[in-house]
Amino acid sequence: MIYEQSQQTLHYSWPELDALVVSLGPFYACAWCALERSTRISAPVAADPQVVRQLLVFLQSAGVLSHSAIPGDRTRRSLYDPVSWIYRDSWHGLKSLESALLQALSASRPNLDAETQQWLWRQLSDREISAYLTSLLRRHRIGIHRAGEVLGLQDNSWAHLSLGRKRYVAWSSMRRVASQSIGTAGHEEDAVRVLSSEMRNRARWLFNRETAGKLRRTDFCFLPDSTWRRPLMLDVALESILTIGNDYWLAAPSLPNVGSPHL
CATH class of the domain defined by 15-111: mainly alpha
Domain boundaries for CATH 1.10.10 within the chain = 15-111
Residue 7: which residues within 8 A CB-CB, separation 6 or more? 22, 108, 111, 112
Residues 188-214 have pLDDT tens digits of 888 899 999 999 999 999 999 999 999
Q: Is the pTM of this model over 0.75?
A: yes
| Model pLDDT, residue 116 | 94
Digits of tens for pLDDT over the chain (263 positions)? Answer: 343 333 444 445 577 888 899 999 999 999 999 999 999 999 999 999 999 999 999 999 999 998 776 776 788 999 999 999 999 877 766 668 999 999 999 999 999 999 999 999 999 999 999 999 999 999 998 999 999 999 999 999 999 999 999 999 999 999 988 887 655 555 888 889 999 999 999 999 999 999 999 999 999 999 998 899 999 999 999 999 999 999 999 999 987 753 444 44
